[in-house]
Amino acid sequence: NEPLGTDPATKKPVYVKSGRFGPYVQLGDVTMNDKGKPTGDKPRMASLWPSMTVPTLTLDEALLVLSFPKVIGKHPETGLDVTLFDGKFGPYVAMEGTGKDGAAVKETRSLPERAALLTLTLAAAVDLLKQPRARGGVRQVASQAALASLGTSAVTGKPIEVKTGRFGAYVTDGQVNATIPSGRDPARLTLDDALELIATREQRMREQGVDPRPPPRVPGAAAGAAPSGAAKATKKASSATKKAATKKAATKKAAAKAEPDTFAPATKASAAKATKKAPKTR
């Protein structure tokens, strides 16, 4: 195949190839021996990222995926290299070796997406490696770490950070979370971009009747607070008294209805009937 270009660092050609698991790039050529079998070191290879396509792939993009594993610095406590990997099962950060105290160290944490490989700083990686592994996988822990810090919010006083959550990348100022549109690269987001996204999200929430920045709640001052225990007891007693009075009235009414009509005055028709049936005397 014709090379895509030449790596300026190694002067080796860069190829785009198609393999069993999809397209990939290769740095350098395979060296063959007299018997036609590969010999020596294998050329470095790397799969294309999901956002890349073969027809539009540039030399810079090919060199980017070939740049991993990449050491981003030394861990301040162990003195070991902190390295970013674009692994078979996704990107991750790792630290492995013998620490300053002679103890064996092996720590790895998954990253939420490949964009983190471009933005993760040494400080963020060190903080991520300190966090405990999440049960059922480490992606849950990684998703909580900031991919980048763009500045400090003048409203909340908290950092404006780029993060990745369940529904993708977003920016936050500690109160308002704004999703980063799928067409925008989180790695290239500026502070002005983040402020614009947050302002748009805040306006939309207010139009929906939601205040994203409510004032702090004062204990006992909230309107419509739940009634105290004494008030509840009084209300319950009043309800019970009302029910008892209703029941008593119903019982009295039923008794009056059941009582025989002994003292009711006889009607004229009844009196006439009784007189007619009376026996004759001689």
pLDDT in tens, 203-257: 988 877 678 887 665 555 544 444 444 444 445 545 555 555 555 555 555 554 5
Q: Token pair of 22, please?
A: 């999809």
Strand duo 168-172 + 159-165: pairing? antiparallel
pLDDT, one tens digit per residue, over 22-55 is 899 999 998 888 887 878 788 999 999 888 899 9
Contact status, residue 163 vs residue 169, Cβ threshold 8 Å? yes
Strand duo 104-110 + 148-152: pairing? unpaired
Contacts of 62 (CB under 8 A, 6+ apart): 4, 5, 14, 16, 25
Look at 98 and 39; give whichever has higher pLDDT: 98
Look at 198 and 169; give whichever has higher pLDDT: 198
Rounded distance, CA 124 to CA 147, Å?
8
Q: Token pair of 73, please?
A: 């610095």
Q: How far is CA 235 from CA 231, 240, 241, in A?
A: 6, 9, 10
In this structure, the number of other CB atoms found within 10 A of the CB of residue 99 comes to 14
Chain length of the chain: 282
pLDDT, one tens digit per residue, over 129-154 is 988 775 554 444 444 567 788 999 99
Contact status, residue 116 vs residue 164, Cβ threshold 8 Å? yes
Which 3-state string (H, E, C) describes the chain? Answer: CCCCEECCCCCCEEEEEEECCEEEEEECCCEECCCCCEECCCCEEEECCCCCCCCCCCHHHHHHHHCCCEEEEECCCCCCEEEEEEECCEEEEEEEEECCCCCEEEEEEECCCCCHHHHCCHHHHHHHHHCCCCCCCCHHHHHHCCCEEEEECCCCCCEEEEEEECCEEEEECCCCEEECCCCCCHHHCCHHHHHHHHHHHHHHHHHCCCCCCCCCCCCCCCCCCCCCHHHHHHHHHHHHHHHHHHHHHHHHHHHHHHCCCCCCCCCHHHHHHHHHHCCCCC
Q: Tell me what pLDDT residue 144 has.
A: 54
Q: Tell me what pLDDT residue 89 has.
A: 81
